Structure 1
Amino acid sequence: MFKVKARFYLAPLAAALIISGCVHDRIDPSDQSSPKYVFFFLGDGMSTPQIEASKAFKAEKVNSAKSLLAAKTQLNMTQMPVVGLSTTFCDNRFIADSAACATAFATGQKTDSGVVGLTPSRDTSVKSVAELAQEKGVAIGIVSSMPLSHATPAAYYANVHNRDHYCDISYQASQSGFDFFGGGRFEKLNETNNTARITPRQAFADAGYTTLTNRSEILRLKNQEAGKVICSVETTHDGKTMPNALDTPPENFSLAEITKVAINYLQSDPDGFFIMVEGGKIDSVCHDNDIVTTIHEVLAFDEAVGVALEFMKRHPDETLIVVTGDHETGGLTLGSGSSHYNTDLKPLHGQIKSAGLFNSRDLAKYRRTHEWISVEESNIDDEMKALIKENFGLDWEALTEYQQEVLENAFDASLGEAAADDRESGYSLGDDDDNVDYLSYGDKEPLTISITRMLARKSGWDWTTTAHTALPCPVFAAGKGAMNFTGFYDNTEIAKKLARQMGLPALPVVDKNKTGRPEY
C-alpha cells in the first residue's frame, strides 16, 4: 500500500479543508514542468461517505480508534499526500448528473444535466483534456467498469445533446483515434442512428480497432503491439458493464487488472500517456442503496488507484495521479436515527451477492415459478425466507416484528396482486413520484432495496435517496504537480488544473470542427 511521510487531511464529512503537517518530500512547488504520465481516477457516485464506509469496513474493530487508524485500514487514495475539495453542481441544477459533471472535469465547461461535451446552449462543442493531449502526441487510454459509451468516458471523446444517444457516442469513439479502451462494452454497436449512418461496429473496424474479450489474451497486451484496441469483459450480467466486484466471475479481469493492462500497453509511447479510469459501478450500486456492494466497488476502485501509485514509484518525477468523485449518490449517511451513536458492521458480512444480481437471477427465477397472489395471502414463504438468508444473511426469525412487516410490505409491492396488475398494465413504480410505492422504494425493486436498506440500518448507517446529492467531493493528488489540487474549488477547475499542469491550452477550448448540432 502506498505510504507517505506526511500529508494533508480532509475531515471526512465536512465541507472544509483542514491542512496539517508538511508536504511529501517529492512535491516541489517550484517545478512547473509537465508530467509525462497522467492518471485521472473518477469514482462515480463516490464522496466522503462511501470512502469512510469502506475504510470502516476494512477495520478490525469499527469502534476502535486504534483499528481505524491502523495502516491496513487505510485506502490507497486516502494516503495520497494532497487533498482538495470540489463542488459538483452543474449549469442548471444544484444536484447534477454524471454527464454534466464529466463535461466539467473533462473539458472545464459547465453545462446542463444530461449534456456531454457541449455548452449549455448545445450549439458549441468543447474539447477534453484527452483530446488536447492527443494533439500533442500523448497516448490516450479510457477505462470504465460501466459501458464505454456511458456519460463519464463519453465526455473525453464525444459531444452530444443527450447522454442516452449511445449509438452516436459509440460512433464518435470510433473516430477519436484514442489508443486504448478497456472495461465494459460500447452500446448500440449494430444500430445506425448516428452522424455517419453506419454501425459503430463497422466504424471501429474501419478505424483500425481490434476488439478483445479473452482475459488471458488481454492481460498479455503490451507496447501497443495490437494497434488501437478495445478490451471488454468476456462476461457481463447486463450485456454491457463489468459485473459488480462482489459478483465478478473468474473469466473476467478486475478494474485494477485492466488499469495495469492500459499502463503496459501505453507506457512505451515516447510522449507519455493520459489514462482516465472510472469506477462507474460505485454509482449504480449506490442508486440501489446496496451498502455492501458499494464498499466492494470502492475497494476495487482503490485497488486500481494502487496500481497507478506503484507505477509512480518507478517514475516518481514524471507521474501525476488525481483521484476524485463526480457527485455523491444515495445520500449515504454514516449514522441512523434508530442507532443513536452505535455502529456494528457485522450484519454487512452476511451478504454474498449484489442486489442487482439477486434481482436478475434469484428474484427473477422466484417470480417465474410463483403465481401472483393477493395482498391478503402474500406472506413471505419459506423459499423466499431462505433466499434472503442465503444471499443477505438475514435470518427471518431473528428480525423484529417491525422489520418483518417492512419486508412483508415490500414483498407485496414486488410480488403481490397490486404489483401484478401494475406490471400487466405496463405501469412502473418510477412513473409517478407522488405514488406511495415510489416514495418508499424509488424506482427500485421494493423487496431487494428494503433488504439492503435494512442491512445498512442494522449496521448504524442509512440512505436518504435513490438519486444523487449535492455533496462536494474530495480530490486526492500525488506526484508531479499535485500541489495544484489543494483548496476548495469548482469541478471545472479540475480540468483546468490538469490542462495547466500538462502544458495544454487554457480551458475551455471550442472545437471548431464540430457544431454540436446532431446530423441525424
Structure 2
Amino acid sequence: MRRRDFFKNGLLTTVGFSVLGSRPIIAKPNHYAADKAKNIIFLVSDGMSSGTLNMADLLMRHKLGKASNWISLYESGTVRRSLMDTASANSFVTDSAAAGSAWGGGNRVNNGSLNIGPNGEEYRPILQKFKEEGKAVGCVTSVQITHATPASFCVNQNSRNSMPQIAVDYLKLKFDVMMGGGREFFDPSKRSDGRDLYSEFEGNGYEVVKDKSEMLNATGTKPVLAVFSEDGLPYAIDRENNEELKKSIPSLAEMTKKGIELLSKNQNGFVMQVEGGKVDWAAHGNDASALLYDQVDFDEAVGVAMDFAMKDKNTLVIITTDHGNANPGLFNPGPKNVRFESIFDSKCSNEFLLGQIKKETSASQVIDMVNHYQNVTLEKEEASLLLKNFTVGENGLYNTNNLPVEVFGKILSKHNAISWAHTNHSADFVELAAFGPRSENLPGFVKNYELHNFLLEASGVKRSLFASV
C-alpha cells in the first residue's frame, strides 16, 4: 500500500498533529488510588457515528502508522465499554441540547431544551452540583462555549438558541474554566443589547483570554474565560494548514491540557466536559476531510485526558458521543484503498474550499481547486453540477453561508469512497467508554440520562444531589 509523508510542514500542506497523548495506551493499572473519583473528565465527540470512529482509526493507522487512542483503549482492554441509548423525551432522534441535558440534568427533555422538562420542570445541571461540592468545574469545546453541549452541563434554558442569555448565565455561575468560540455573544459590538460581557467577566474576577498564547500563559489565579473565534473554531484541517490560525487558535488537545492544568489546582478535585463539537458540524455538511481530521483532533484530547488519568489514578474518564450524525461509511475504496487515501493529502475542509468559489469561477477552475486542495480530480460535469447548485444550497445552523455542502459531499463520495446516509442525526446506539474509579460499575448498555447519577455516585457526592428519574 502506498504511504504518504504525514509530516510535511508549511502553509496548506498535509495536516499534522503532534500534541501530547498520541501514543497508544497498552496497559491498565492494577488499582486506583481511591474507591471514588476525585476528578472527572467527560469527553464528547459530538455527532460521532460509529463509521466516523472507524474511518478516523483507519486514517491514523495507515497515514500515521499508529492506532487512534480510542480504539487502542479497546484493543488493550484498558476501558470499560458500553452502548448508550441517546433518545430525547419527544423523539428517538435527539439533538445535542436534549442529549446533553440527559447527562447534565439526569432527565430526558424535549429536543431544543436545556435542562427544562416537558412540563416546565427545572433540573439542576450537574456542574452546578459539583461546584457546590467544592470542586473546580469547566468546559472546553471546539464550537461556541454557549453552544448546546457545554450549556447542557451548566444552565437551564427553554431554548438552546438563547446563546446571548447563556453567556450572561455563565457570568452568574462563575465556573472556573470556559474555553471555546462564540465571540459574538460576549463582544458589545456584536450583542443586540450592547453589553460588554468581556468587561463584566473581568469585573467578576475572571481572566479573559482571546488567543492561544494568552491561554497558555494563564496561571489559574483567577477563573478563565477563553473565547478564540467569532463562531465555532476553525475545522482542525483548516487550522493545521494555516500558520496564522495555528498561532492563534489552540487545538482541542491543547485546550484540554490547559484546562486540566488550571482545574487540578483545586485540592477537592475537578469536573470538566470536553467537546469535539465540529465533528457534528462536519457530519451535517457531509464533509469527509473536516469530519475525520476533527475526529483525530478529538482523539488527541482523549490521549491528553488518559495520560493525566493513568498517572493520577483518581480520575474517572468518560469517552462518548451524544448521538450519531449522517452515518458515514467507507465503501469500495478501490485498488490498494487509493480512493480513501485521497483523504490523506486533503488540505482543507469542503466548507473552506466552497468558500473560495465565486460567481465568476469556471468549471475548469473548480476542477483545478479541488485537485489542489483535496487531491481529487472532478469530471467537468461534476464541476458544472456543483456550480449550478450554489444558488440552491442548504440553510440552517451548520451552513449559514448557504453553500451546496450536501451536493459537494455526494460528488466527492465517488472519489474518496466515503458515503453518507443523511445530513442529520440518527437514532443509533453509540459508543461509551469509561476508565478510572467506579468505571467497573458501568453496565454494558445504558440510557443517556443514567450517566448523571453514575457520575455523582462515582464521585461519592451526597445522595440529595442525585437526579430524580
Alignment partner, residue 365 of structure 2: 383
Distance change (3 Å), C-alpha of 1:487 and 1:310: same
Distance change (3 Å), C-alpha of 1:37 and 1:461: same
- Cα pair 1:105 1:492 within 8 Å, conserved: yes
Deviation at 1:352, TM superposition (A): 0.9
Deviation at 1:430, TM superposition (A): 4.4
- Cα pair 1:149 1:187 within 8 Å, conserved: no
- Cα pair 1:77 1:305 within 8 Å, conserved: no
1:39-54 alignment, distance < 5 Å: 39-54=41-56
- Cα pair 2:25 2:72 within 8 Å, conserved: no
CA distance in structure 1 between the aligned counterparts of 2:215 and 2:300, rounded to whole angstroms? 19
Deviation at 1:94, TM superposition (A): 1.2
1:73-472 alignment, distance < 5 Å: 73-76=67-70, 78-79=72-73, 80-121=78-119, 123-185=120-182, 187-189=184-186, 190=188, 200-222=197-219, 224-225=220-221, 227-233=222-228, 236=229, 239-248=230-239, 249-251=245-247, 252-316=249-313, 318-335=314-331, 344-360=339-355, 362-363=356-357, 366-367=358-359, 369=360, 380-396=362-378, 399=379, 404-414=380-390, 419=391, 429-430=394-395, 445-446=403-404, 448-472=405-429
CA distance in structure 1 between the aligned counterparts of 2:400 and 2:278, rounded to whole angstroms? 19
CA distance in structure 1 between the aligned counterparts of 2:254 and 2:395, rounded to whole angstroms? 37
Aligned partner of residue 469 in structure 1, secondary structure: coil
Deviation at 1:507, TM superposition (A): 6.7
Q: Across the two proteins, how many residue pairs are aligned to each other?
A: 431
Deviation at 1:468, TM superposition (A): 0.8
Alignment partner, residue 13 of structure 2: none
CA distance in structure 1 between the aligned counterparts of 2:335 and 2:71, rounded to whole angstroms? 30
Aligned partner of residue 389 in structure 2, secondary structure: helix
State the AA in 1 paired with 2:102.
Answer: A
Distance change (3 Å), C-alpha of 1:454 and 1:429: closer
CA distance in structure 1 between the aligned counterparts of 2:335 and 2:111, rounded to whole angstroms? 37
CA distance in structure 2 between the aligned counterparts of 1:341 and 1:54, rounded to whole angstroms? 18
Distance change (3 Å), C-alpha of 1:163 and 1:187: farther
CA distance in structure 2 between the aligned counterparts of 1:57 and 1:329, rounded to whole angstroms? 19
CA distance in structure 2 between the aligned counterparts of 1:455 and 1:205, rounded to whole angstroms? 47
| Structure 2 residue 29 is the aligned partner of structure 1 residue 3 | no
CA distance in structure 1 between the aligned counterparts of 2:336 and 2:95, rounded to whole angstroms? 32
Aligned partner of residue 145 in structure 1, secondary structure: strand
CA distance in structure 1 between the aligned counterparts of 2:285 and 2:367, rounded to whole angstroms? 21
Distance change (3 Å), C-alpha of 1:193 and 1:388: closer
Distance change (3 Å), C-alpha of 1:177 and 1:509: farther
TM-score (norm 1): 0.76
State the AA in 2 paired with 1:41.
Answer: L
Listed one character per residue, the Cα deviations across residues 141-194 of structure 1 (whole Å, up to 9, x for unaligned) are: 210110000000111221111110111111101111201111223542237779
Aligned partner of residue 40 in structure 1, secondary structure: strand
Aligned partner of residue 59 in structure 1, secondary structure: helix
Listed one character per residue, the Cα deviations across residues 278-334 of structure 1 (whole Å, up to 9, x for unaligned) are: 000100111111112111101111101111111123212x11111100011112123
TM-score (norm 2): 0.84
- Cα pair 2:80 2:442 within 8 Å, conserved: yes
- Structure 1 segments unaligned to the other structure (5+ residues): 6-23, 62-66, 371-379, 423-427, 432-440, 511-520
CA distance in structure 1 between the aligned counterparts of 2:128 and 2:418, rounded to whole angstroms? 41
Distance change (3 Å), C-alpha of 1:506 and 1:89: farther
Aligned partner of residue 298 in structure 2, secondary structure: helix
Deviation at 1:206, TM superposition (A): 3.7
CA distance in structure 2 between the aligned counterparts of 1:78 and 1:118, rounded to whole angstroms? 38
Give the structure with higher Rg (CA). 1
Q: Identity over the aligned pairs, expressed in percent?
A: 24
CA distance in structure 2 between the aligned counterparts of 1:246 and 1:81, rounded to whole angstroms? 29
Deviation at 1:349, TM superposition (A): 2.6
CA distance in structure 2 between the aligned counterparts of 1:39 and 1:155, rounded to whole angstroms? 15
- Structure 2 segments unaligned to the other structure (5+ residues): 1-22, 240-244
Distance change (3 Å), C-alpha of 1:449 and 1:218: same
Aligned partner of residue 323 in structure 1, secondary structure: strand
Distance change (3 Å), C-alpha of 1:358 and 1:344: closer
CA distance in structure 1 between the aligned counterparts of 2:67 and 2:141, rounded to whole angstroms? 26
**Which segment is superposed worse, 78-87 or 49-58?**
78-87
Distance change (3 Å), C-alpha of 1:217 and 1:94: same
